[in-house]
Chains A and B, each alone.
Chain A
Amino acid sequence: MASTTRTKRLSLSAWLKTITFYEILVGMKATLSHLLNYRPVTLQYPHEKRTLPDNYRGMLALLRYDDGTEKCVGCDLCEAACPSRVIRVVSAEVPGEPTKRYSKEYYMDMTRCLFCGMCVDACPVDALGMTREFEWAVYDKRQLHLNKQQLLAIGDRSFPVQEKRLELQHPNVAFFNVAFKHVPPKPD
């Protein structure tokens, strides 16, 4: 069979390097130097954990106010903002108060979530937050279909202080973020 590539004429030094496996020896020197100056870059994960960056985007959670009422008003904006359709919101009127709504049911399919944080950005009342939890390996994928109670529980354990970024909220938005039973006076 005819060779498809022309054989190049080697210079003397290149020929010497070839027959003495020079490049292989250089590589072996490199690995040996790593063995002698052994400095592992790994962490023993379950025993040591690295410090997460401040803007780490972990598990999603629903948040509450200090008095225990939910922040979510069931506006569906998170569902609209989600690129992979993780969220499903069923909103309903607050019984006895026809101007107010809340999320009757709230589902998240975390198997599809890509933790982009767009739902958190979209939420006008800061009812959604990203926690720093990341150890969510499960044996059954169905355990990652979270309902409202589970999401609130995550929020409760990850944000013991429920007021999140309150100073950034628009006062008109804040009007809707009130407890169902205690309607405060309008700020004027």
Chain B
Amino acid sequence: MTEFGLRLAISLTQIAAVMGIVVITVLILTLAERKVLGWMQDRMGPMEVGPYGILQPLADAIKLFFKEDIIPAGANKFLFTMAPILCLIPSFIGFAVIPWGPNQTFEVGGITVRPFVISDINIGVLYILAFASLGAYGIILGGWSSNSKYSLLGGLRSAAQIISYELNVGLSIVGVLILGGSLSLVSITDAQAGGFWHWYLFALPAPQIFAFVIYVISAVAETNRVPFDLPEAESELVAGFFTEYSGLRFAFFFLAEYANMVLVSCVAAALFLGGWNAPYPGTIMGFIGLPSLAWVENTMWFAVKTYSLLFLFFWLRATLPRLRYDQLMRFGWKVLLPIALGNIVVTAIAVFIYQQMK
């Protein structure tokens, strides 16, 4: 009993910490996106609330809490209520297997605790992909249950888009899985230690540069971001699948989109950019004689990589116009899919030859 209670307490603490970090990151992102977009378009972004507008996310949250929550008369009430939650849970649940920092352990009351990953399951990547595709249910059910034609169109577009790009995400990761020889994100990250030339983006037998490009493009498409924001196309579909949503339910969709962005950036950082590993061998903290503080440096590198990828999302949004629907599907199926398959073949052959030579 006590051991079970202790395990439960440790797990809940870790989950609360990770959830807190994710929610704070999302709050930062909502401000950062508006600021970065403003700066790139010679505007200022939010400036009113607090100095330089830094309290804007707080004001947004308060506003969303107190807005009137409307359920349309013809809507399916159960699904209308469930859809935002169905959207939110899969995007949060993936964070359980992301390693935030070095693979350290310590003992608490006879139980081994890994502070920087909630759970190191040996099908981690598969788990994330499976739950990421569940998010499509939330979107399409939200579009359908609103009983509005525009919302339904947005939901259907989203489903078609997510299905076609989910495949490319999966296939672009396969090259990394061949190199890493594992599905666990912890062991994949550990295998990339020792300088940036060991990251799978540049790793020797088969650099995964094409896979990385495909992954980033597909991740942008999967999170419904510009230039692939067809489900939300405000000039065609009002606001897409969440047209009829207001107040806190809309906030859930919003939160899910940003949490998804953070999740795909974390996965890209862990799989292609070495995760928490520094781009030089060892750690500076270890070099100056403070090896117990190395985790600060390592988590900082993970944050830097994740936030750079998130900045790339904003950068793309400030630059590119929206793609037409047939262009999007053609690009996904006829261009990205063959390249991803070719990448798998080339990687497999290269790794085979490399192992035979050794």
**Which residues does B use to contact A, with CB under 8 Å?**
36, 38-44, 47, 315-316, 318-320
Contacts and interface: CB of A to CB of B under 8 A. Distances in A.
Which of A35, A40, A41 has the most B CB atoms < 10 Å from its CB?
A: A35
B42 A41 contact: yes
Contact of A40 (B43, B316, B318): B43
A14 to B, nearest CB: 16
Interface in A6-38: 24, 27-28, 30-32, 34-35, 38
30 contacts: A24-B319, A24-B320, A27-B319, A28-B315, A28-B316, A28-B319, A30-B319, A31-B40, A31-B41, A31-B315, A31-B318, A31-B319, A32-B40, A32-B315, A34-B40, A34-B41, A34-B42, A35-B39, A35-B40, A38-B39, A38-B42, A39-B42, A40-B38, A40-B39, A40-B42, A40-B43, A40-B44, A41-B42, A41-B43, A42-B42
A51 interface: no
B319 A44 contact: no
B51 to A, nearest CB: 13
A39 B38 CA distance: 11
A38 B39 CA distance: 6
A95 to B, nearest CB: 55
A35 B44 CA distance: 11
Contact of A27 (B38, B39, B44, B320): B320
A40 B53 CA distance: 15
Contacts of B47: 44
Contacts of B315: 28, 31-32
A40 to B, nearest CB: 5
A45 to B, nearest CB: 10
Nearest to A37: B42
A34 B44 contact: no
Interface residues on A, range: 10 to 19
B210 to A, nearest CB: 10
Contacts of B40: 31-32, 34-35
A44 B51 CA distance: 13
Nearest to B339: A19
- 6 pairs of A and B residues whose beta carbons are closest in the complex: A31-B40, A27-B319, A31-B319, A31-B318, A41-B42, A35-B40
Contacts of B319: 24, 27-28, 30-31
Contacts of B39: 34-35, 38, 40
A38 B41 CA distance: 9
A42 B44 contact: yes
A2 B40 CA distance: 42
B258 to A, nearest CB: 21
Interface string A129-163: 00000000000000000000000000000000000
Contacts of B320: 24, 27
A112 to B, nearest CB: 29
Contacts of A38: 39, 42
Nearest to B217: A21
Nearest to A26: B319
Nearest to B47: A44
Interface in A32-68: 32, 34-35, 38-42, 44
B36 A35 contact: yes
A34 B318 CA distance: 11
Contacts of A27: 319-320
A44 B44 contact: yes
Nearest to A21: B213
B235 to A, nearest CB: 20
Contacts of B316: 28
A34 B315 CA distance: 11
A47 to B, nearest CB: 9
Nearest to A46: B48
B330 to A, nearest CB: 10
Contacts of B318: 31
B282 to A, nearest CB: 32
B43 A42 contact: yes
A27 B40 CA distance: 11
A35 B43 CA distance: 10
B339 to A, nearest CB: 9
Contacts of A42: 42-44
A44 B44 CA distance: 9
Which of B42, B43, B47, B315 has the most A CB atoms < 10 Å from its CB?
A: B42
A30 B44 CA distance: 18
Nearest to B321: A27
Contacts of B43: 40-42
Nearest to B213: A21
Contacts of A28: 315-316, 319
Given A30-B319, A41-B42, 13 more contacts: A27-B319, A28-B315, A28-B319, A31-B318, A34-B41, A34-B42, A35-B39, A38-B39, A39-B42, A40-B38, A42-B43, A44-B44, A44-B47
